[in-house]
Each structure stands twice: as C-alpha cells, then as structure tokens.
Amino acid sequence: MQAFSRLYQTIDQTTSTNAKVAAMVDYFRDADPRDAAWAVYFLSGRRIKRLVGSSLLRQWLTELSELPDWLVEDTYASVGDLAETIALLLTRAGDSTEQLTLAEWVETRLLPLRGRDAEAQRAIVTGWWAGQSYEQCYIVTKLLTGSLRVGVSQTLLGRAIAQTADLPRPAILHRLMGEWEATPDFYRALIAEDDGEAALSRPYPFCLAAPLEDAPGLDTAEDADQVAGALGDPADWQVEWKWDGIRAQLVRRQGQSFLWSRGEELIGTRFPEIVDAAERLPDGCVLDGEILPWKNETGILPFAELQRRIGRKTVGKKLLGEVPCLFLAYDLIEHAGEDIRQRPMRERRERLESLLARKDDATSGDERLRLSERVLADDWRALATLRTESRERLVEGFMLKRQDSPYGTGRQRGLWWKWKIEPHTVDAVMLYAQAGHGRRSNLFTDYTFGVWDGDTLVPFAKAYSGLTNQEIERLDKWIRRHTIERFGPVRSVKLQQVFELAFEGINRSTRHKSGIAVRFPRIARWREDLGIEDADSLEDVKRLIEGGGDGGE
C-alpha cells in the first residue's frame, strides 16, 4: 500500500502529464501483477461499492477525536473531504504499523467488511485508523467509501502501461475497455505481447469531438465565413445532426449482441429492443451511435423521457411502450471481425450504409436500428441556415467529421468538431452557496440560483462552473461577508448578486419546486450591471419550453 500511496501523492501533487506518466511507469515496473491489477482498476476510475456509510464514519470520527460535535462538523465543512478530515484528526506522524500491499488491503481487509454488522465494522475500521500514517489512512478511507478519484485520464493510464509493456497505446486502451476483474491474470493479459482472442463483448474506446469554437482562429462558430475559413471546403466534411441521447456502441460477435454506454456499462437489459434489432447484423461488427427515445408516429421524444429508461436495470412492457428507443448508427469501427478504425471516415460510412441497407425503407415500420442522416449543402452559409432549425428538430446542432479521418481515441481536435447551437440563457439571483471539494474545499464554489415567481425568488438551478479563479476568490470573500443563515455546509446569502446562466435543455419537472429542470447549467457571466429586480421570472423560463426547449412532462 505504501507504494500505491506514494504513487497517488505524486499524481495528486503535480499538473505535469509527463510526471504523472513517469510515476505510473515506475510503479508498474516494480509492482506484483496482483497489486498492479488493483492499481489499474482504481486508476481507471473503477471503484469498489461503498462498504461503510459516511454517516457511520462521521459518527466514529466524532467519538474517537473526543472533540465537540460542532468542531468536527466545522472541520469537515472547512476541509470538504471526509477521508482527509479523518486522516487529519486521527492519525499520527510516522509510518503505518501494518505493511500490507494494495491487493492485501483490498482483498483481506476491505472486501471482507461487506455484510458485517456496524459494531464489528466499527472495531475493525477504527483499529485501522489508529495504526495508519496520514497518507495511508487517507487512501484506505477513500477506498473504503468508494470515493477515490485520481487525476489521470484513461488515455494517460494507457500511455503509462503501454510504455511499461512496450506495446502500442491503442492496443492497451482497447484491452482496458469493457468488463474485467482485477486479477493477476487480467494484468498479465493486459501487458502481454498477444492477449489472445479479444474478449467477446469488448467495445472500443470512444472517439469524441471538440467544440468548433476551439478551432484555431475561430472565436465564434456563428459566422459562416469564419467557419469556411477555418475548415475549408465543406465537401471534405461529413455533416450530421447532433442528437441528444446516450452515446453507445453496439457489438455483434459470435451470434451475441452487447450494448455498451460510453461509461463502459452494459445496458442491454435497459434497451432490449435495440439488442433484439442487432440480430439482423452479421457477426464481427461494432457500431458507434446514439440511443434515442423515438416513436415512429411523432419522432424523437424529450431527453427527460429517456431518463426514465436510464434509471432502470430492466424495463417493463408499459415503459417499453411509453418510451420506445432506437439505435442511430454513426460509424462502423469493426467489420467482418476486422478493426477498421484507421480506415478513413468515407470508407467506414460506405461500409455502414451497405451493412444497414435493406430492401424495404429502413425508416418505416418499427425499425430500432437506423442510419444517421447525412446533411448535404452546397456551402457553409447554407449549412449555417439549416443549423438555425436545430431547436425545432430537437437537436443540438451539427457534427462535422473529416472525410479522411480515422476513428481515434478520446477527443479529436481538428478531425471531429461539434457545431452546437447557442445555449439558453437566463439571468438569475444567487440564493445559496456551498464550499467545493478537493482543492476547492476552502472556497465557496457551488451556488444555487433563483428566478422570480411573483414577488418570491424560487430555486431554479445549481451551478459550479464558469467563473475564473479570480472571480471565485472575489465571490468567496463576498459570500463570507454577506451570509444571512447557515444550514450545515450551506449558507444563504444577501439577495444582491445576479448571474447569467447558460444551459442546454429545459424540461417540466414535478420533482422541482420551480416546476422545471435544466440540463448542464453553468455560469456564463457575472452580471454586476444588473439588480435583482432585473432577473428573469419563472414565466420567462417556462416560455423557453414553449419556444423550442426540450418540453417534457
């Protein structure tokens, strides 16, 4: 565990990607396959299910610290992280008394906690705390609560393992996809020259697009002439509508079908109609696409309807009938058992069209597997005009993919762009503030905003991104000087600050006091030029639904 703890500290204390990769390479070169497998498991973002509830841990912390409850709670609120608070208040200087490896800690200490009663768990866990150094107590408690987050991406982890094994990074990233267990055999196969036949259900790393406004020399994607100057001839690009659904890969191998989310979760039981439709596909193919809620009579349904399916492990007949879904295929990345990701987009599209071709019209009947429509236009100005129809079509704009582009790994700047429509915006008043987490645990960075409902401000959205570091620090000082009440870690503030919020979609919602819910809210501007009386009303927000929002029930 000491080696993994040192690795975590090194990664956490540097912003250099090269330093992070070097630290991981050093770790994996010396690690036993059993420890290395668990390290890969946690570094890739996987977590063991929470073994002990945070409320019990906070109770035990108060009892052991012999400090007043209010002081422990204030310390926790200030630190912003339970594991760090426990390590600060309970550990001693020096090394840990138990010199166990990472695998030994997980397999012989942590996992056996599951199913034990609270008293037995208390005796074991508090015993650990008493004998750990600060660093090791922090790591163990993070693993215990399933909240360990490490500052490395899957791509960076793949790069480190590839260097360790002297293998191509794409091969490592592919082997890390899908379901696997942290075993020595898994790690040996991960770094082997030839891992044998690919896992039957294994998907590929997803290729992602960058926002078009990030293109060099393009500050805004609104002007068609600017887009033309940045991208050149539109004939060099495949243009598709950007739908708002669940990105997924549909795998068909050896007579079986598997549906994977971008979060590497098998979701076929939630969308059985798509898995059934995949039976028409030949063996040895993998399609990239989007799961959309779609009724043949009316077309796409609001995203809020799709959320009803997302939250279920399985779905009944009633929900299947109310929210039918389809798979809209964007790309073909495996064909006839061959990985064709490095072939150009133009060729992959031709193969995809051939694969999905049918004698009957694929858009008629109860078809759950469809081809994404290409958008054709003579020039960028014509495309820009079509893009203005996005809200009416319930899409988010365009996807632009170079005709000669491979299917890459991660975000592909310059090859794939998303040309999104401008978000909805609303001016709202700050009502509450709460401290952030991790490095922002000493700053108020999480805010709740309200809009007017008559003479009352009702909570409308929460946001925690969009401000610069300087603005966050200035706003933090203002919040501390203008706190009215405290509700645990939350503070209500003087009604004075107005912010312009941006968000992608809006739905009616019976779960929210305002009667609406928004998607991806963030702060667009600090409107110091406005008074609270200038903020928008709830009726203004609801009109966005009527005028082209997502709708919903």
Q: Residue 236 has which token pair?
A: 């060099």
pLDDT per residue rounded down to tens, the chain (553 residues): 889 999 999 998 888 999 999 999 999 999 999 999 999 999 998 988 889 888 899 999 999 998 898 888 888 877 878 898 999 998 876 666 667 899 999 999 999 999 899 999 999 999 888 878 888 889 999 999 888 888 888 889 999 999 999 999 888 998 998 889 999 999 999 999 876 555 788 999 999 999 887 776 565 555 677 787 788 899 999 999 999 899 999 999 999 999 999 988 899 999 999 999 999 999 999 999 999 999 988 889 888 889 888 878 788 999 999 999 999 999 999 999 999 999 999 999 999 999 998 534 443 345 899 999 999 998 898 998 999 888 888 899 999 999 999 999 888 888 999 998 888 899 999 999 998 876 677 889 999 999 999 999 999 899 988 899 999 999 999 999 999 998 878 999 999 999 999 988 787 777 777 788 888 899 999 999 899 999 999 998 888 875 554 433 3
Q: Where in the chain is the domain with CATH 2.40.50.140?
A: 424-546
Q: What gap in Å lies between CA 19 and CA 406, rounded to an integer?
A: 29
Q: How many CB atoms lie within 10 A of CB 405?
A: 19
Going across the sheet that includes 237-241, the strands are 207-211, 410-420, 397-402, 237-241
Which of the 8 DSSP states describes residue 133? B
Q: Characterize the bridge pairing of strands 397-402 and 369-371.
A: unpaired
Q: What gap in Å lies between CA 184 and CA 182, rounded to an integer?
A: 7
Q: Number of helices (H) and strands (E), helices first, in the chain?
A: 21, 20
Residue for token digits 């706190």? 483
CATH number of 2-145: 1.10.3260.10
Core vs surface per residue 319-335: b (16+ CB within 10 A) or e:
eeeebbbbbbbbbbbbb
The DSSP-derived string for 473-541 is: HHHHHHHHHSEEEEETTEEEE-TT-EEEEEESEEEE-SSSTTSEEEES-EEEEE-TT--GGGSPBHHHH
CATH class assigned to 244-371: alpha beta
Binning the chain into helix, strand and coil, the percentages to the nearest 5 are 40, 25, 35
Q: What gap in Å lies between CA 444 and CA 480, rounded to an integer?
A: 9
* pLDDT for the residue numbered 97: 62
Residue for token digits 């632009």? 400
Q: Where in the chain is the domain with CATH 1.10.3260.10?
A: 2-145
| Class of residue 131 by CB neighbours under 10 A (exposed 0-12, middle 13-18, buried 19+) | middle
| β-pair partners for 174 | none
CATH entry 3.40.50.10440 includes domain 424-546: no
* pLDDT for the residue numbered 553: 32
Q: Where in the chain is the domain with CATH 3.30.470.30?
A: 244-371
Q: Characterize the bridge pairing of strands 325-335 and 369-371.
A: parallel
* pLDDT for the residue numbered 536: 93
| β-pair partners for 507 | 517
pTM (2 d.p.): 0.75
